[in-house]
Amino acid sequence: MTPKEKAEELVGKFNITFHHHKALEFFRLQRAKEYALIAVEEVLNSVYEYSYEYEFYNEVKQEIENL
């Protein structure tokens, strides 16, 4: 799985639709990205800074910010 795919997966897990309203779509996506970033920060805080996982999730964080 690439960092971009992981970013999309995490944001998708937090992007829950309750109403089909276009005006709310942007805010729902922003909230999902915030939650995904919190999850990634938790991973980054729990792994060794120079490990593969740290580098991978650092890239995932960048991809989330770019979505």
Total domains present in the chain: 1
Task: State the pTM of this model.
Answer: 0.85
Kindly report, residue by residue over 8-65, the tens digit of the pLDDT: 999 999 987 666 666 677 788 899 999 999 999 999 999 999 999 999 999 999 999 9
Kindly report, residue by residue over 42-54, the tens digit of the pLDDT: 999 999 999 999 9
d(CA 54, CA 4): 15
What's the domain range around 44? Answer: 3-66
How far, rounded to the nearest angstrom, does the alpha carbon of residue 47 sit from its chain's CA centroid?
Answer: 17
